[in-house]
Amino acid sequence: MRTTEGNGRAFCSGADIVAVHDMIKSGNIEGSKEFFSTTYKFIYYLHTYLKPHVAILNGITMGGGAGISIPAKFKVVTEKTVYATPETLIGLHPDGGASFHLSHLPGHLGLTGNVLNGEEMIAYGLATHYSHSSNIPLIEEYLRNLKTDDPSVIKTSIEKFSDLHPPDNTNIIHRMERINKCFSHDTVEEIINVVEDEVTNTHDGWWNSVLKKLKYASPLSLKVSLKSIREARFQTLGQCLVREYRLTSRAIGGEISSDFCEGVRARMVDKDFTPKWDPLSLDDVTPDMVDRCFSPLDAHELELDLPTQQRRSAL
């Protein structure tokens, strides 16, 4: 059995995107690609690890942090858990295997980066167990003392400390039917139209928050992300990681758009929160632009190379 947990108030708040931004700006494109290649391979390694993996998400779990936690067989969340995949807000796309995991969930998570708490992760099927944060040291000690890798024993052990309560009125589960209906539409434009209707008809602040994020996000990233998540429904995690690496390589290279660097600049470097997206609007994003993001890498570029044989547990 392997257990992963954070150090401090976060499980993992994601990759050091500012450092990647600086590498790109300094001309180190290959170094940036290598960073993502290594990260995606590690996520695949965790996914194919044969022994049970327990991830304890007692804090912020975003971006790459989601990628390394979701493959775990057991995912323990608490009242301190904050989960999101906010990549479209920085001109990227849900990566690190996120398209694979989000493909069977309502699309708003991948498009807006909306935050989920621990109880909502349980409702979405993104976590397996909920426990109060005060129980985490007890869970860790109990698991350390186990002398077996039997998943049923591990499951029963964690359940000794589970204390999930019925969802309150603010829980996203109460909006699930409307969310499913809104985000089942085929295009980003249609989705935004129906979300606008929800804002008008319900006067619900949650829907207003969703709409603001959709309108803030990179138009190209929104269309790329929707297509990526929809394609993932029919793919394995390995296939999704290969596709995501292509998308990330295009974003890093800037041949189609420089939205990734611009998004990071606006949100995490200068923090003026006024990104100058290119293309500027959804109408300006052509089908050809989106298709080019998904096309195989050029002959001189390396595709993501994942192991094809099931590995023995060696961590």
Angle of helix 151-159 versus helix 136-144 axis, rounded to 10: 150
pTM of the model: 0.89
124-174 pLDDT tens trace: 889 999 999 999 999 999 999 998 889 999 999 999 999 877 667 677 778
Report whether 136 contacts 58 (CB < 8 A): yes
Pairing status of strand 116-117 against strand 74-77: unpaired
Q: At 23, list the tokens.
A: 């590498």
Q: List the one residue out of 65, 57, 78, 71 whose CA is nearest residue 17.
A: 65
Task: Kindly tell me if the per-residue pLDDT of 6 is higher than 60.
Answer: no
Q: How far is CA 145 from CA 128, 139, 140, 159, in A?
A: 21, 10, 9, 16
48-102 pLDDT tens trace: 888 899 999 998 888 777 888 888 899 999 999 999 888 999 999 999 999 998 8
User: In angstroms, rounded to a whole number, what is the distance separating the alpha carbons of residues 56 and 49?
Assistant: 17
- Buried b / exposed e over 72-104, threshold 16 CB at 10 Å, is bbbbbbbebbbbbbbbbbbbbbbbbbbbbbbbe
User: In angstroms, rounded to a whole number, what is the distance separating the alpha carbons of residues 58 and 83?
Assistant: 10
Q: At 293, list the tokens.
A: 């993001």
**For the ranges 54-58, 115-119, 164-168, 201-205, which has the lowest average pLDDT?**
164-168
**Residue 147 per-residue DSSP state:** -
Q: List the one residue out of 46, 15, 44 whose CA is nearest residue 32.
A: 15
Residue 313: pLDDT band (50, 70, 90) is: very low
